[in-house]
C-alpha cells in the first residue's frame, strides 16, 4: 500500500477536536430540472463535520460538491433545484426545517459563512470593499449576538471597525484602511481572496464553507492562501468545509477528506487513512491518476456519467474493475473500516490486505 502511494503520511496534528458533530448531513437528495430531464445531483449523500475540523470535500467536475455546499448554506437555485429528502443538522438543529428568513438572518453569515470560488466576480463591482464589509457588519456583527453585552450604535461601529482593520492585517493586507477605500477591480485576485477570508471570519462563525477557494489562483498565491486559511481556522477554532477537485490541496489542509463521485459520496476518512490506506476503488484510482514519475500516467477509463440518466446502484460501477452484478443493482451502505473511516463499497480494500 504505502509503497504504491509514496511515503507514509504522518499527521503531526492528531485528529484535533472534531469529536462532537457540528454538522451532519444524512441521505441528502437534491435534484435539478434540466433541459434533458431531472438530474439527481446528490443521491443520498452523508457528510459529517466535527467542531473545529477541516473537512475536504473532494471530487471531479459534476460530482456534486458545490451543490452540497450550496445545499448546506440553503442557497440552491430556487427555480431549478429541489431537495428530495434527507436531513441537514447544524448544532443539533435541522436546517431544512427552518424558515428561509430565519436561515438568512440567524444562520447564514453568522453561524456559517462562505468563501467563494471566484474572488473576481463575488465582490459587487460597483461598491467599495469597505462599503460591502460595513454592510456585512451592520447585519452580522458579532456584537449583535444575543449573548453579548448590548452596545450603542456608535460604540458598536467603532468596535467593528477596529475588528475589521485588525482582521485585514491578520490576512496580510498591508494597508487595511486604503484597501477598504478601493473598488474590487483595483485589487489583485490574491488580495480579494484574503479579504473574502477575513469577511468569512468577521461574524465569528462556527463553520466556514470554502468552495474551491484557490482554484482561480496561481500556485504560489494558492500556497499562501492555504497556509493562511489553515492557521486562521486553527486560531479561531472554526470548522471548515473545503471543497476542491485537487487531491493535493486537500492533503495540504484537511483533517478529514470525503470523496464524491457523480453525486454519491464514496469514502470518508482522516487524511492519514485517506491518503495512506484508501479503501474505495475510486479513491485508489483517483490517487493513481495523479502524475507521478513512479507510476507513469494512469487515467481512469470511461467518462463521468450524465446525471440525467446515471448508472443504477453504485454510480462508479461501469468504470470499476472490481464491480460485480450486485454493484449495478444496489447502492452500498457505509461500511466502517476503522476509526471514522467509512466507505460505500461492496468490495473495499480492507486494512491489512494488499
Partner 1 sequence: MGAASNPALLEVADLAKHFAIRNVWKRRVGWLRALDGVSFSVRRGEILGVVGESGCGKSTLGKTLMGIHRPSAGSIVFEGNEIANISPYESRSLRRHLQYTYQDPGASLDPRWKIGRSLHEPLVIHTDLDHAARDARVRQILHAVGLPESHLDLYPHEVSGGQQRRVGLARILTLQPSLVVLDEPTSGLDVSVQATILNLFLELQKQFDLTYLFISHDLSVVRMICHRVAVMYLGRIVEMGDTETVFARPAHPYTRSLLAAIPDIGGKRITDDFWLEGEPPNPGNLPSGCRFRTRCPIADAGCAGQEPTLQATDPTRSVACWKAEATS
Partner 2 sequence: MKLLVLVLNRTFWFFPTLLGLLVITFTISHVIPADPVAFVAGDNATTEQVEALRKQLGLDQPMHVQLYRYVLGVAQGDLGVSLYTLRPIAEDIASRLPATLELTLFAVLLSTLTGIPLGVLSAVHRNSVLDHVLRVFTVSGLAIASFWLAILLQLLFAMRLGWTPLQGRIDGFGPDTVTGFMIVDSLIAWDLESLGDALAHIVLPALTLTFPAMATIVRFTRAGVLDAINSNYVLYEQAMGFPRRAIVWKYVLRNALIGTVTQIGLIFGILIAGAVVVEAVFDWPGLGLYAVQSILQSDYNAIMGFTLASGALFIVINLLVDIIHGFIDPRESR
Q: Which of residues 83-122 bind partner 2 (CB under 8 A)?
A: 103-105, 107-110, 113-114, 116, 118, 121-122
- Check binding of 247 to partner 1 (CB under 8 A): yes
Q: CA 14 to CA 8: how far, in whole Å?
A: 15
- Give the DSSP H/E element, type plus range, for residue 158: helix 153-170
| Burial classification of residue 87, based on how many CB atoms lie within 10 Å of its CB (0-12 exposed, 13-18 middle, 19 or more buried) | middle
| Binding partner selected for residue 248 from partner 2, partner 1, none, CB under the kind-specific 5 to 8 Å limit | partner 1
- Check binding of 134 to partner 2 (CB under 8 A): no
Residue closer to partner 1, measured from CB, 49 or 262: 262
Q: How far is the CB of 200 from partner 2 (least distance, A)?
A: 8
Fill in the per-residue mask, 45 to 84: x = in contact with partner 2 (CB under 8 A), - = not in contact.
Answer: -------------------------x--x-x---------
Stretch that binds partner 1, among 1-9, 41-49, 93-101, 337-345 (CB under 8 A): 1-9
* Beta bridge partners of residue 207, listed in sequence order: 112, 239
Q: CA 81 to CA 34: how far, in whole Å?
A: 9
- Burial of 175-184, coded b for 16+ CB within 10 Å and e otherwise, reads ebeebbeeeb
| Binding partner selected for residue 185 from partner 2, partner 1, none, CB under the kind-specific 5 to 8 Å limit | partner 2
State the residue for C-alpha cell 477598504: 180
Sheet of 93-94, strand order: 37-50, 21-34, 81-90, 93-94
List Cβ<8 Å contacts ≥24 apart for 326-331. Answer: 331/43, 331/44, 331/264
Residue closer to partner 1, measured from CB, 90 or 261: 261
Query: Of 125, 146, 149, 299, which lies in the binding site for partner 1, with binding defined by CB under 8 A?
Result: 299
- Check binding of 159 to partner 1 (CB under 8 A): no
- Which residues lie closer than 8 Å to 261 by C-beta, 6 or more apart? 59, 60, 63, 282, 304, 315, 316
Residue closer to partner 1, measured from CB, 117 or 191: 191
C-alpha cell belonging to residue 162 = 477596529
- Check binding of 183 to partner 1 (CB under 8 A): no
Q: CA 15 to CA 256: how far, in whole Å?
A: 8
Q: CA 320 to CA 10: how far, in whole Å?
A: 29
- Check binding of 60 to partner 1 (CB under 8 A): yes
| Binding partner selected for residue 118 from partner 2, partner 1, none, CB under the kind-specific 5 to 8 Å limit | partner 2
Stretch that binds partner 1, among 22-30, 32-40, 177-185, 282-290 (CB under 8 A): 282-290
Q: How far is the CB of 136 from partner 2 (least distance, A)?
A: 6
Q: CA 329 to CA 312: how far, in whole Å?
A: 6
- Check binding of 1 to partner 1 (CB under 8 A): no
Q: How far is the CB of 156 from partner 2 (least distance, A)?
A: 18
Q: CA 100 to CA 73: how far, in whole Å?
A: 11
- Check binding of 304 to partner 1 (CB under 8 A): yes
- Interacting residue ranges for partner 2, rule: CB under 8 A: 70, 73, 75, 103-105, 107-110, 113-114, 116, 118, 121-128, 135-136, 139-140, 183, 185, 199, 209
| Residues lying near partner 1 in the complex (CB under 8 A) | 5-9, 60-61, 188, 190-191, 218-224, 226-227, 230-231, 245-249, 251-253, 275, 285-287, 289-293, 297-301, 303-304
Amino acid at each position: 500500500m504505502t509503497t504504491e502511494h509514496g511515503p507514509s503520511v504522518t499527521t503531526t496534528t492528531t485528529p484535533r477536536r472534531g469529536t462532537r458533530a457540528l454538522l451532519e448531513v444524512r441521505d441528502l437528495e437534491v435534484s435539478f430540472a434540466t433541459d434533458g430531464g431531472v438530474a439527481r445531483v446528490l443521491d443520498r449523500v452523508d457528510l459529517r463535520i466535527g467542531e473545529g475540523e477541516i473537512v475536504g470535500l473532494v471530487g471531479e467536475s459534476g460530482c456534486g460538491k458545490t451543490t452540497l455546499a450550496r445545499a448546506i448554506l440553503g442557497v440552491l437555485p430556487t427555480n431549478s433545484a429541489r431537495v428530495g429528502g434527507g436531513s441537514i443538522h447544524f448544532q443539533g438543529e435541522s436546517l431544512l426545517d427552518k424558515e428561509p428568513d430565519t436561515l438568512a438572518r440567524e444562520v447564514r453569515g453568522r453561524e456559517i459563512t462562505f468563501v467563494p470560488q471566484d474572488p473576481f466576480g463575488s465582490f459587487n463591482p460597483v461598491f467599495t470593499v469597505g462599503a460591502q464589509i460595513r454592510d456585512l457588519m451592520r447585519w452580522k456583527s458579532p456584537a449583535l449576538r444575543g449573548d453579548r453585552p448590548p452596545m450603542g450604535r456608535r460604540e458598536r461601529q467603532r468596535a467593528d471597525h477596529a475588528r475589521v482593520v485588525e482582521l485585514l492585517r491578520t490576512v496580510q493586507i498591508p494597508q487595511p484602511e486604503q484597501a477598504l477605500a478601493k473598488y474590487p477591480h483595483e485589487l489583485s485576485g490574491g488580495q480579494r481572496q484574503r479579504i473574502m477570508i477575513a469577511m468569512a471570519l468577521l461574524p465569528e462563525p462556527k463553520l466556514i464553507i470554502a468552495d474551491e477557494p484557490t482554484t482561480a489562483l496561481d500556485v504560489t498565491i494558492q500556497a499562501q492562501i492555504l497556509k493562511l486559511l489553515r492557521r486562521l481556522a486553527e486560531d479561531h477554532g472554526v470548522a471548515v468545509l473545503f471543497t476542491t477537485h485537487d487531491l493535493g490541496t486537500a492533503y495540504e489542509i484537511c483533517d478529514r477528506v470525503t470523496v464524491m463521485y457523480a453525486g454519491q459520496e464514496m469514502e470518508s476518512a482522516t487524511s492519514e487513512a485517506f491518503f495512506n490506506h484508501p479503501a474505495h476503488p475510486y479513491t485508489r484510482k483517483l490517487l493513481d491518476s495523479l502524475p507521478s514519475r513512479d507510476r507513469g500516467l494512469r487515467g481512469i477509463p470511461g467518462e463521468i456519467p450524465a446525471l440525467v440518466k446515471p448508472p443504477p446502484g453504485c454510480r462508479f460501477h461501469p468504470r470499476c474493475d472490481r464491480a460485480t452484478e450486485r454493484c449495478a443493482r444496489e447502492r452500498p451502505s457505509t461500511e466502517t473500516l476503522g476509526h471514522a473511516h467509512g466507505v460505500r463499497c461492496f468490495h473495499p480494500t480492507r486494512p491489512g490486505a494488499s
